[in-house]
Amino acid sequence: MNRREVARLLAAGTLAAATGCRARPTVNSSDDLIHLDAIAQADLIVAGEVQAQDLVRSAAQRIQTVNPKLNAIIYTDTDRALARARASNGLLGGIPYLNKGLSAYKGMPLTRGSRLFAQTIASDQSAYTDRLDAAGVVVMGQTNTPEFGLLPSTEPLLHGATRNPWNLNHTPGGSSGGAAAAVAARLVPAAHASDGGGSIRIPAAQCGLFGLKPSHGRFPDQGYGDQAWPISIQHAVTISVRDSALLLALTERADNSALLPVGFVQPERVQQLRIALSLNAAEVTPDNDVAQRVAQMANTLESLGHEIIPVEQTPLMDERFDDDFLTLWASGAHAIAQQVTRTTGMPASDSGLLEPFTLGLATWFAEQPANTLRDALDRLRSYQARVRTFLSAYDAWLTPVTASAAPPVGYLAPDVSYDILLPRVRRFAAYTPLHNVAGTPAMSIPAGFSQTGLPIGAQLAAAHGNEALLLALAYQIEATSPWAQQLPPVHG
């Protein structure tokens, strides 16, 4: 389905029916809006039941009331959002949205979660962000993120910790933790996110949301062209599968020579799939709660007619991958530390501009032999080929997203001793970086809750370029367990 067809359905007020959801609900008050995803809210605007400015004012009120408890949003500009809402167009015209603090949005702060950029205002934005604007979403502000997105928990020293709306004593994950907390609390129906090692999938899992990491190359103009290895990619965290599918269709490049366009994927019958199932990653074994929820997801997939094939030997079982990914991750921190030294004329560790964990990564990298990064990149390329070979034998691959449910705030904080924090990070986030290196699409889909009531996600990955299969599978799962109806204790 192309954009013109989507526009026709939206204009006719039938997009909800076309995407397999119930008929357009009646909204009696602004409180009813928290139960609606972005497409349902857009449908209301087209039907004349609400005005775009009403959606923005309602979101602004929820943000004002709830965000002090969460610290998910670090900057808002309601006046600018209202002005944009009055002139909104596009398929999602007038829908409240949030931009992640790692990504430039012209005229808004661009702190990247770091004291180094505490006073920076974005003077430009990427072509990807231009396409988001063209879709009509109304960016109301910036969400919190760990410094440079380096940690799977959102606790930057600059802005303070973001808290999980399911339990305020726990993290919402990272690095798109502010985005996930805001959407889970229904402050907005969807929010921009990015993923360089699990940063869409991890917070989606920790907050009970849907989070798809697209294939490498899906957005060649997303503004991330200066990486040693282009592993980061942008997209969103959403309440519903269809919102993610539509946002992908509206932001992908139709003229992309590397990948065929996905288009707007809708619910459809999915033929029987061969789905590999593995639980371990090298020496990492998931907590019992996670293992049980992933096994339950496997049972759900079997009940939908798919074949589940337990597999012990997978690319996740190679212990060297973790070290090679750490080398790549730390090389970025080292480059930043060198920049600080050049700019300030003093060692980065004395500048007070970088967090202890960032400095720890930079120091570790500086102590490695000169050819360490080159050798690591060579091996990472081989992992890319190995993952694609592994997936050639299956239609999809089911694993945990993280080794545990959301840890307490402070457990993965950047000022925890580096020697203690690094092993914690490596265990917690053992399952997601492989798909950034391989470039394969992967999604976190809600899989239930821990015994303490915290959300747990299951990860499903597919061959490079096969987002359509994952989205079709996600629609199937969503129909069996409508997670969007479950609200956390702290919500709008």
**Residues tagged active-site:** 100, 175, 199
Percentages (nearest 5) of helix, strand, coil residues in the chain: 45, 15, 45
DSSP string, 47-59: HTSS-HHHHHHHH
Q: Within a 13 Å sphere around the CA of 412, how many CA atoms are in the beta-carbon half?
A: 31
What is the separation of C-alpha 104 from the centre of its chain, rounded to a whole number of angstroms? 16
| Gap between the Cα atoms of 133 and 90, Å rounded | 8
How far apart, in whole angstroms, are the C-alpha atoms of residue 146 and residue 159? 9
CA 25 → CA 17, 38, 40, 85, 392, distances in Å? 12, 13, 8, 22, 43
Residue in this structure with the two tokens 């094939």, named with its chain if needed: 309
Closest alpha carbon to 95 in 79, 81, 75, 76: 81
Residue linked to tokens 């960016």 = 139
DSSP result, 152-184: SS---TTT----BTTBTTB---SSSHHHHHHHH
Per the CB < 8 A criterion, the answer to whether 92 and 246 are in contact is yes
- In whole angstroms, give the CA distance from residue 365 to residue 372: 9
**Would you say 62 and 187 are in contact if contact means Cβ atoms under 8 Å apart?**
yes
Angle at 106 between CA 102 and CA 107, to 5 degrees: 105
Q: In terms of Cα–Cα distance, which of 10, 24, 488 is closest to 249?
A: 10
Give the strand order in the sheet containing 190-195: 190-195, 233-238, 210-213, 442-449, 455-461, 396-400, 274-277, 307-310
In 3D space, the residue among 144, 152, 183, 143 whose CA is nearest the CA of residue 166 turns out to be 183
Give CA–CA dist 128/184, Å, rounded.
24
Say how far apart CA 359 and CA 362 lie, in whole Å: 5
Output the six-digit token pair for 99.
Answer: 């931009």
**How far, in whole angstroms, is CA 134 from its chain's centroid?**
21
